[in-house]
Chains A and B, each alone.
Chain A
């Protein structure tokens, strides 16, 4: 994190340092709650915070320092979702997941039924850091969210 802040300062000056701090804050808010309810590990949050510190350095390559971390978080979830899907198919648990998800949608849409939130099998875990790493390289060199239109500030 310190390295990211120093790099942001040397590449973009005080404004870069400011963007670095904002990036850390955004990462903490975006992923912190997921750690709190035990969806992600603390290391995943810290990794995103460290990458968020590079927001200032990202401005030197023409990116928006304020939105860099949000883009990174969104793309991490998309990449993570794709990896999770592959993992569930490989482990033969995808159909069970689909059933749970279907029950959730059915109970959420029918007013007469009590909404049944999908209870995930917490024993099936994955390293989310890989998704963050892939997403960070992707966002740095070619932000696909711009092409896909998945940005609230377009």
Chain B
């Protein structure tokens, strides 16, 4: 009995040039991720916001530099029923 191959093509069906483009895209993405990680870009971008939030929480004022300019008591807040406390952004 003669066996017939059911394979359409043994040379593959992936378009070579597109595969190369996809490979380039993945490598580009990898390079970008490495640069972002090495430059600490995420932390640098978040620094101004993080600093402002920290000062607001600690001193009750986003522009205060230390406890001489503010204390946590200055931080505007809403106390609901003595159990729930919400801090309000003073800006």
Contacts and interface: CB of A to CB of B under 8 A. Distances in A.
Interface of A: 34, 38-41, 43-44, 74, 77-78, 80-85, 87-88, 93, 97, 100-101, 118, 120-122, 124-129, 131, 145, 148-152, 154
Contacts of A124: 15-17
B33 A121 contact: no
B34 A84 contact: no
A118 B14 CA distance: 16
How many chain B residues sit at the interface, stated as a range, is: 20 to 34
Nearest to A154: B37
Given A125-B9, A150-B29, A154-B37, A38 B15 contact: yes
21 contacts: A40-B14, A40-B19, A43-B13, A44-B13, A77-B23, A77-B26, A80-B23, A81-B24, A87-B16, A88-B17, A120-B16, A120-B17, A120-B21, A122-B15, A125-B9, A125-B16, A126-B11, A127-B10, A127-B11, A150-B27, A150-B30
